[in-house]
Structure 1
Amino acid sequence: MKGGNSRTGSKSTDSKLAVKKNGGGVTKPARNTAWFHKLKTPPPPDEFLVFLRDFVRKQFNKELHDNKPLSAAIMAKAACSKWKTMSDAEKASYAAEAQRLKTAYYENHVLTEKLKALNM
């Protein structure tokens, strides 16, 4: 007999392959929880992301007036190289803005959590 072991009588224990059925034999659709993740506020940006937002706005306006094609990859590479060449003194304003956004985020987060606790 060629082949290998025959598993005709054994059940598969792999949960990924198993199909969950309700009483009528029809598969249930997966629950859509994407709406819940949209309700969460994104974390506050760090210094580089604050700089990137500012850099892209300035660069976008410049590129728009020059009628050059705008690419996200080119913009990101230019922003990274500029960030690496900046001194700590130049980065200080972006760090202060990031810290301000961070404190505002956590104050709002604590307030939201307190309101949720009161409503429950």
Structure 2
Amino acid sequence: MKGGKSKADTKGDGRLAVKKGAAAKKGKPAKDPNKPKRPPSAFFVFMEDFRVQYKQKHPNNKSVAIVGKAGGEKWKSLSDADKAPYVQKAEKRKVEYEKTMTAYNKKLAGGPEEEPEEESDKSKSEVNDEDDDDDDSGEEDEDDD
């Protein structure tokens, strides 16, 4: 076909179709479950305390949305001085997060070799345990040398 376009690339009205699915997902790498979670902002630190207080005052309330709206309104009404303790807690958590992220990134880059050696020792012992079971046949002794 001329122009490098096939019928599959165009819609019935002549517009180009946008491919979705596998092509769109290729750009995003898989999530690592061991990656540290980002620290909460000052507002979410405030909400941790606010939820407890709100549940004490309104024990029959089951709606998360109502608690969130009430917390948002309360946060907006607080002065900067009232928000300061929550901002400080959030900053502390952010510093701790940055430390854990640097350690995590070093681990990904193969930083300290002590941890991988421990893991390899564990795997060696597991392999040796399996070899002990197979030694009765006498075939494994030739491969170990």
The two structures have a TM-score, normalised by structure 1, of 0.64
Alignment counterpart, residue 80 of structure 1, candidates 62, 72, 80: 72
RCO comparison, higher one (Cα < 8 Å, 6+):
1
Residue matched to 1:102: 94
Residue 16 of structure 1, aligned match among 8, 19, 23: 19
Identity %: 33
Instruction: Write the letter of the residue equivalent to 2:99.
Output: E
Contact 2:39 2:97 in 1 (8 A): yes
Uncovered stretches (5+) of structure 2, i.e. residues with no partner: 1-5, 10-16, 117-145
**d(CA) in 1 for partners of 2:56, 2:32:** 30
Native 8 Å contact 1:44 1:102 kept in 2: yes
Q: Is the 8 A contact 2:36 2:100 kept in 1?
A: no
SS in 2 for 1:12: helix
Q: Report what 1:91 is aligned to.
A: 83
Alignment of 1:62-73 (within 5 A): 62-64=57-59, 68-73=60-65
Q: 1:30-62, CA deviations, whole angstroms, 9 ceiling, x for partnerless residues?
A: 9xx99x426143321111111011101221233
Report the equivalent of 1:45: 40
8 Å Cα contact 1:63/1:70 also seen in 2: no
Q: Check whether the contact 1:50–1:94 (CA below 8 A) recurs between aligned residues.
A: yes
Corresponding position: 1:60 with 2:55: yes
Structure 1 CA distance for aligned equivalents of residues 83 and 18 of structure 2: 51
- Do the aligned partners of 2:42 and 2:87 also contact (CA within 8 Å) in 1? yes
Residue type of the partner of 1:98?
A: A
Divergent runs of 4+, >2 A: 13-17, 61-64
Report how many residues are paired: 94
Cα–Cα, structure 1 residues 38 and 112, in superposed 2: closer, same or farther, change >3 Å? Answer: closer
Higher helix share: 2
Out of 94, 101, 112, the position equivalent to 2:104 is: 112
Letter in 2 for 1:96: Q
